[in-house]
């Protein structure tokens, strides 16, 4: 009887005929070889299923499954987890690409850090033609990551590897569809440490069409609910309006002058609640809160020099702010950028 693989690679597929072959090839080309590769086609109406069945013939590590009806990403992911046998699970979306050393890096990291339940990495951003359009950097410090989860999801699904024993009992929650990853990561963080490896290990393809307006609004509503329930499980009571202000400090492209005071109040309150809770390191709390206060002020410099007075007088102002950042804030406010 053969031993189960260390890693289960999981890929849900739906209408990805243009990209799925490249995604699958990137898994088969990994330097780390001890994995099973489970692919679930969610009743695609294009040639995705035929393409992945051809790969199944080529490599015995691949097992292909198909839903009779389209079940959606949450149920498909949960089905794959239930089938999987590995100590770790790794996701790759069917239009993304893993660098060949991704699994080797993540397995070595998780084996060396048994306290870490989940590890992500930095992504290179590509368009539909595979052309590089940018890079994303995420927080890597475990303590700061746990605080970042009250603002946004600091992980990319296609870069994540999870210790299977650290998954919540019911895996992905269907009530958070379009924000299911955010909910899962929050739950994992409640009982184990989390990390991002500071290396680029995946290419993330952004669809030029993006999310529809209705899905964007739904994601925002559900993200607020994810944060609220996450806080409650940790014994922290956050009002919805406070959460929305925390989100604005991260996601808003520009901050209106009347919003700055509300965000400031929410950040001050949030800092007090986290400090009182006792689960979080005070240094990490200070640094994350100060970062988002600076970002709030930076995105409000179109209101002119008055934002400098607000920033410097605030209890949130960081005297350790670099000369470069202070100058950047001053110049932006001066020209109302």
Average pLDDT of every residue of the chain: 93
- List pLDDT tens digits, range 20-75: 999 999 999 999 999 999 999 999 999 999 999 999 999 999 999 999 999 999 99
Q: Average pLDDT of 133-157?
A: 97
Could you identify the residue written with the tokens 């097992």? Answer: 63
Q: Per this entry, what is the length of the chain?
A: 337
pLDDT in tens, 270-314: 999 999 999 999 999 999 999 999 899 898 888 788 887 888 788
Contact 123, 136 (CB under 8 A): yes
Distance of CA 184 to the CA centre of its chain: 10
CB 337 within 8 A of CB 329: no
pTM score: 0.93
Q: Which of 140, 110, 138 is nearest to 125 (CA)?
A: 138
Question: pLDDT tens digit string along 217-275?
Answer: 899 999 999 999 999 999 999 999 999 999 999 998 888 888 999 999 999 999 999 99
| Higher pLDDT pick, 145 / 324 | 145
């Amino acid at each position: 009887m053969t031993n189960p693989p260390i890693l289960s690679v999981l890929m849900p597929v739906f209408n990805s005929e243009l990209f799925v072959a490249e995604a699958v090839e990137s898994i088969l080309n990994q330097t780390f070889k001890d994995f099973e590769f489970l692919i679930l086609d969610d009743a695609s109406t294009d040639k995705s299923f035929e393409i992945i069945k051809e790969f199944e013939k080529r490599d015995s590590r691949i097992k292909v499954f198909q839903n009779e009806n389209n079940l959606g990403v949450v149920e498909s992911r949960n089905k794959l987890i239930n089938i999987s046998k590995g100590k770790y699970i790794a996701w790759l979306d069917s239009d993304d690409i893993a660098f060949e050393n991704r699994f080797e890096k993540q397995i070595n990291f998780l084996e060396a850090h048994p306290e870490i339940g989940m590890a992500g990495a930095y992504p290179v951003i590509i368009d539909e033609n595979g052309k590089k359009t940018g890079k994303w950097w995420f927080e890597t410090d475990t303590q700061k990551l746990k605080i970042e989860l009250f603002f946004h999801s600091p992980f990319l699904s296609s870069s994540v590897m999870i210790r299977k024993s650290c998954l919540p009992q019911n895996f992905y929650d269907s009530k958070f569809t379009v924000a299911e990853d955010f909910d899962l990561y929050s739950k994992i963080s409640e009982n184990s440490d989390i990390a991002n490896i500071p290396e680029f290990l995946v290419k993330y393809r952004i669809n030029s069409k993006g999310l529809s307006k209705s899905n964007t609004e739904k994601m925002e509503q559900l993200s607020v609910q994810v944060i609220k329930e996450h806080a409650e499980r940790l014994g922290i009571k956050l009002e919805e309006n406070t959460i929305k202000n925390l989100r604005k400090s991260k996601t808003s492209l520009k901050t209106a002058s009347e919003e700055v005071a509300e965000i400031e109040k929410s950040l001050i309150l949030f800092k007090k609640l986290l400090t009182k809770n006792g689960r979080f390191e005070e240094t990490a709390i200070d640094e994350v809160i100060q970062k988002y206060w600076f970002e709030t002020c930076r995105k409000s410099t179109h209101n002119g020099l008055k934002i400098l007075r607000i920033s410097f007088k605030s209890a949130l102002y960081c005297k350790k702010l670099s000369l470069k950042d202070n100058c950047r804030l001053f110049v932006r406010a001066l020209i109302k950028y």
